[in-house]
Amino acid sequence: MSDTINAIVVDDEGHARQTLITLLKAHPEINLVAECENGMSAVKTVNDLQPHLMFLDIQMPKLNGLEVLELLGDTAPLTVFVTAHNDYAIQAFEKNAVDYLLKPVSKARLAQSVERIQQRLTREQPTHYRQQQQTAAQQLNQPSGPIQRILVRDKGDVHVIPVADISAIEAADDYVVIHAGGQSHIKQERLSRLEAQLDAQQFCRIHRSTLINLDYLQGIETEAKETRFANLKLADGSSKQYAISRSGYSKLIELL
């Protein structure tokens, strides 16, 4: 790569964003190509401009910094976290992050960070750090309780799906189809991994390939001794039927 490092700054706080941009002007090797005021804008900007480097706030509404990295996956640029909270970021990223900066960012600390970025870009392949960042983000983003929303990336767009709106999730090889609010969203994810993150009292695996939200369950229909179907009533008043396996039926009865 050239000596110029194309970078973006992502922070929902305008003052913090402008302060960092001003400090970066002292480093001509950093070429600021965009600034973003939220996580969704960051995902779109990275896809459009493919910068080498991203200064990324962690605490942002709707889509936090860790979720931004999760959505970007392998397309994420090298990332420096900029955060006012050192309770978990410092410990988690001290080995894997390109760098982290605590707010308010000082000139001296930013200079150290830029030097560190240049050294690593010189001696290491960026993909190596992207993999480290993604692994660290996944580890950090493990929720302490059931998740409340699922993020789905569709090209440059990001859909935030509240869990309460999801009626069912079906497996399709390495993907899942999420049914919510009359729409179906495809996400690259294992059904078992999603199941582990959802509330086990609300979602039931009624079949190897089907997970349903019990809040939408209207009834169980039996056609033969071992042939049963779960009837779901959707938000628009329509109905949807899913097959129940023998083990799925046992789980379902246990929860009801």
Read off the pLDDT of residues 172-184 as tens digits, 9 standing for 90 and up. 877 899 999 888 8
**64: confidence class by pLDDT, cuts 50, 70, 90:** confident
Give tens-digit pLDDT for 206-236. Answer: 999 999 999 999 999 988 777 899 999 988 8
- Answer whether residue 86 shows pLDDT above 70: no
- Answer whether residue 245 shows pLDDT above 70: yes
pLDDT at 6 (0 to 100): 93
Of 200, 207, 206, residue with least CA distance to 253: 206
pLDDT at 156 (0 to 100): 61
Assigned token pair, 168? 């069912």
One-letter amino acid for residue 241 of the chain: Q
Q: Which of 1-15, 27-41, 134-148 has the lowest mean pLDDT?
A: 134-148
Q: Are 248 and 227 in contact (CB under 8 A)?
A: no
**91: confidence class by pLDDT, cuts 50, 70, 90:** very low
- Answer whether residue 84 shows pLDDT above 70: yes
Instruction: Give the percent of the chain with pLDDT over 90.
Output: 41
Q: What is the pTM of this model?
A: 0.58
- Answer whether residue 95 shows pLDDT above 70: no
pLDDT at 216 (0 to 100): 94
Name beta bridge partners: 231.
219, 241
Collapsed DSSP state (helix, strand, coil) of residue 173: coil
